[in-house]
């Protein structure tokens, strides 16, 4: 039986502001959309916190046996400076400043993003669509919104009519904002006079002369509004209604509010059943953000090339640090916090590495079944990773007690403990065992040494020893290959 049938997952839904039972639209299948990065600069660790949390959501859903279609887009057009309605496209601006093509900017930072994800052991999403790859679909959606009477064209730009939408629907359903308040709070920016009401938002913008990222459309040569791509790509790949939509809290308004309005206008149904939002990662008490310069890059943590940390830290330690906090709480990044995480991480991995050496006992002094149920219960409770980690440390304590002969587990319980630890530490949290990585370097060193000894044996015509070294290495799954440049080896 699939694990999800015996694990009732609960998810905090930002829409209802309560924890709800998670029941996907189609039994056994989950559709999940997460707003991806705008690739105009390197993703900072704050961005990575959000994506890492959804990586763990994805991992846990897969572990529970769901078939998951996970869509995380790449925003490569339409996102204007300061997330505003006016101004320059973030990517186009970078291209102008660097004197390169916008698509070079996109390529550079997409590659960097993927490199970070690889270093930090992310699972790739099922689909990673781009905004520029869906211009045609975006134009089609705008046409449909206009036909339905919820958008209007002015001077080549098309705006969503929030006032009209709000007559029957609730613009503000997710963020709790009231349209009336928005009218008073919206700053009048240049060109906003085009709009009927200041809270209307752009679906299509006419490009001015210096705007290089432009596409033909029925209204003008221009580009789509930032919010549109996510409505288009989520509908295209997950359907008019899907299960989970995620992103950082800062995206609730206006981005996700606008997504709901656009999608609901076209389909007539609420697009998303569970909205999930991560809280912010801060640095020096301030939100980590590219715009303020208050950030650290994930790869800078690995190399130690930064002014924030006293030394380099591993990707797994950073993952562990992130997972020690609940995703709905603010998390403050600092050298001290990372050093504390590093200690905890080593303690956990040391215990994990000792698992295979534990002796089997006659009786069990620890209730493994209950502990396992507690681990699942933590994750079933809105992916509560800090509670899961506290349970993992109960297991660490037992492992250490068994080492000291102060506790014991039967063979069956020990097997269950091992399997469960491996599931949660590696499959679900995505942590990496650096000890094994270190060992692989040591193994290479030892094999090189044996190759050297074998060479000496051959020079001394000691064929028996030379063959013994080769054969015993083969028995261990290590093949030696003699070539012109010397002997190399491969490990199966």
Summarize as ranges the residues that interact with Zn ion (CB under 5 A): 35, 230
Cβ–Cβ under 8 Å, residues 257 and 177: yes
Beta carbon of residue 230, minimum distance to Zn ion (angstroms, whole number): 3
Q: Which does 50 bind (CB under 5 to 8 A by kind): ligand AMP, Zn ion, none?
A: ligand AMP
Beta carbon of residue 263, minimum distance to Zn ion (angstroms, whole number): 11
From candidates 69, 227, 287, 391, binder to ligand AMP by CB under 6 A: 287
Beta carbon of residue 247, minimum distance to ligand AMP (angstroms, whole number): 4
Q: Which is nearer to Zn ion, 35 or 162 (CB)?
A: 35
For residues 183 and 186, what is the distance between their CA atoms, to the nearest angstrom? 6
From candidates 15, 30, 32, 35, binder to ligand AMP by CB under 6 A: 35
What CA dihedral angle connects 344, 399, 429 and 441, to 10 degrees? 80
For residues 20 and 26, what is the distance between their CA atoms, to the nearest angstrom? 17
C-alpha to C-alpha distances, 438 to 154, 348, 353, 445, nearest whole angstrom: 62, 16, 12, 11
Beta carbon of residue 37, minimum distance to ligand AMP (angstroms, whole number): 4
Q: Which is nearer to ligand AMP, 76 or 161 (CB)?
A: 76
Q: Which does 230 bind (CB under 5 to 8 A by kind): Zn ion, ligand AMP, none?
A: Zn ion
For residues 127 and 74, what is the distance between their CA atoms, to the nearest angstrom? 10
Determine the residue with CB nearest ligand AMP.
248
Beta carbon of residue 25, minimum distance to ligand AMP (angstroms, whole number): 23
Beta carbon of residue 72, minimum distance to Zn ion (angstroms, whole number): 10
Q: Which does 281 bind (CB under 5 to 8 A by kind): Zn ion, ligand AMP, none?
A: ligand AMP
For residues 76 and 279, what is the distance between their CA atoms, to the nearest angstrom? 24
306 dihedral zone (left: phi>0; alpha: psi -120 to 50; beta): beta
Q: Which is nearer to ligand AMP, 70 or 219 (CB)?
A: 70
For residues 227 and 225, what is the distance between their CA atoms, to the nearest angstrom? 6
47 binds ligand AMP (CB under 6 A): yes
For residues 475 and 195, what is the distance between their CA atoms, to the nearest angstrom? 75
Q: Which is nearer to Zn ion, 71 or 451 (CB)?
A: 71
Count CA atoms closer than 13 A to 431's CA, side-chain side.
Answer: 28
The residues in 223-282 that bind ligand AMP, with binding defined as CB under 6 A, are 247-248, 250-251, 278, 280-281
Q: Which residues pair with 34 in a beta bridge?
A: 72, 246
CA 298 from centroid of its chain's CA atoms: 13
Q: Which does 248 bind (CB under 5 to 8 A by kind): ligand AMP, Zn ion, none?
A: ligand AMP
**Contact stretch for ligand AMP (CB under 6 A) within 47-55, 60-68, 454-462, 478-486:** 47-55
For residues 351 and 400, what is the distance between their CA atoms, to the nearest angstrom? 7
Q: Which does 451 bind (CB under 5 to 8 A by kind): ligand AMP, Zn ion, none?
A: none
Count CA atoms closer than 13 A to 387's CA, side-chain side.
Answer: 16
Beta carbon of residue 46, minimum distance to ligand AMP (angstroms, whole number): 3
Cβ–Cβ under 8 Å, residues 473 and 447: yes
What token pair was written down for 31? Answer: 């559709």
46 binds ligand AMP (CB under 6 A): yes
The residues in 88-107 that bind ligand AMP, with binding defined as CB under 6 A, are none
For residues 189 and 201, what is the distance between their CA atoms, to the nearest angstrom? 13
Beta carbon of residue 244, minimum distance to ligand AMP (angstroms, whole number): 14
Q: Which does 49 bind (CB under 5 to 8 A by kind): ligand AMP, Zn ion, none?
A: ligand AMP
Q: Which does 131 bind (CB under 5 to 8 A by kind): Zn ion, ligand AMP, none?
A: none
Which residues fall within 8 angstroms of residue 43, CB to CB, at 6 or more apart?
Answer: 37, 51, 109, 112, 113, 116, 297, 298
Give exposure, 457-483, as e/b (b: 16+ Cβ within 10 Å).
bbeeeeeeebeebbeebeeeebebeee
331 sits in which H/E element: strand 331-333
- Cis before 254? omega within 30: yes
Our CA angle for 319, 321, 325, nearest 5°, is 110
Q: Which is nearer to ligand AMP, 55 or 194 (CB)?
A: 55
Beta carbon of residue 355, minimum distance to Zn ion (angstroms, whole number): 41
Q: Which is nearer to ligand AMP, 163 or 328 (CB)?
A: 328
Q: Which is nearer to Zn ion, 35 or 203 (CB)?
A: 35
Q: Which is nearer to ligand AMP, 153 or 250 (CB)?
A: 250
Q: Which is nearer to ligand AMP, 252 or 391 (CB)?
A: 252
Beta carbon of residue 113, minimum distance to Zn ion (angstroms, whole number): 15
Beta carbon of residue 33, minimum distance to Zn ion (angstroms, whole number): 8
309 binds ligand AMP (CB under 6 A): no
Cβ–Cβ under 8 Å, residues 337 and 385: no
Write out the residues near ligand AMP by the rule CB under 6 A: 35, 37-38, 46-47, 49-50, 247-248, 250-251, 278, 280-281, 287-289
């Amino acid at each position: 039986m699939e694990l999800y049938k015996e694990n009732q997952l609960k998810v905090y839904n930002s829409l209802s502001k309560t924890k709800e039972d998670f029941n996907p639209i189609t039994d056994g299948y989950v559709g999940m959309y997460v707003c991806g990065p705008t690739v105009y600069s390197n993703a900072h660790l704050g961005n990575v916190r959000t994506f890492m949390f959804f990586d763990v959501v994805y991992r846990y859903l897969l572990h529970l046996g769901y078939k998951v279609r996970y869509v995380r887009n790449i925003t490569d057009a339409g996102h204007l400076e300061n997330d505003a309605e006016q101004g320059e496209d973030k990517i186009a601006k970078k291209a102008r400043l660097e004197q390169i093509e916008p698509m070079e900017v996109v390529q550079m930072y997409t590659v960097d993003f993927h490199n970070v994800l690889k270093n930090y052991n992310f699972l790739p999403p099922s689909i990673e669509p781009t905004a520029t790859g869906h211009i045609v679909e975006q134009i089609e959606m705008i046409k449909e919104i206009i036909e339905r009477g919820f958008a209007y064209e002015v001077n080549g730009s098309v705006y969503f009519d929030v006032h009209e939408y709000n007559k029957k629907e609730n613009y503000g359903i997710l963020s709790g904002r009231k349209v009336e308040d928005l009218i008073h709070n919206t700053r009048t920016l240049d060109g906003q006079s085009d709009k009927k009401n200041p809270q209307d938002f752009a679906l299509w913008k006419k490009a001015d002369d210096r705007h290089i990222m432009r596409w033909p459309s029925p209204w003008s040569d221009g580009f789509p509004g930032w919010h549109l791509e996510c409505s288009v790509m989520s509908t295209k790949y997950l359907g008019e209604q899907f299960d989970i939509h995620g992103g950082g809290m800062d995206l609730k308004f206006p981005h996700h509010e606008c997504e709901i309005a656009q999608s609901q206008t076209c389909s007539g149904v609420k697009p998303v059943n569970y909205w999930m939002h991560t809280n912010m990662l801060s640095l020096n008490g301030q939100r980590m953000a590219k715009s303020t310069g208050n950030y650290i890059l994930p790869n800078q943590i690995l190399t130690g090339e930064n002014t924030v940390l006293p030394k380099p830290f591993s990707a797994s330690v950073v993952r562990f640090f992130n997972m020690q906090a609940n995703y709905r709480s603010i998390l403050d990044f600092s050298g001290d916090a990372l050093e504390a995480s590093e200690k905890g991480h080593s303690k956990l991995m040391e215990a994990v590495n000792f698992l295979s050496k534990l002796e089997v006992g006659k009786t069990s002094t620890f209730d493994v079944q209950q502990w396992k149920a507690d681990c699942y219960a933590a994750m079933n409770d809105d992916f509560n990773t800090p509670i899961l980690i506290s349970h993992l440390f109960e297991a660490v304590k037992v492992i250490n007690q068994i080492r000291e002969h102060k506790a014991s587990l039967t063979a069956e319980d020990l097997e269950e403990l091992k399997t469960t630890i491996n599931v949660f530490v590696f499959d679900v949290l995505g942590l990496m065992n650096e000890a094994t990585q270190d060992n692989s370097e040591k193994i290479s060193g030892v094999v090189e040494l044996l190759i050297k000894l074998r060479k000496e044996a051959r020079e001394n015509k000691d064929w028996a020893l030379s063959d013994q070294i080769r054969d015993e290495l083969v028995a261990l799954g290590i093949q030696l290959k003699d070539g012109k440049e010397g002997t190399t080896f491969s490990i199966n």
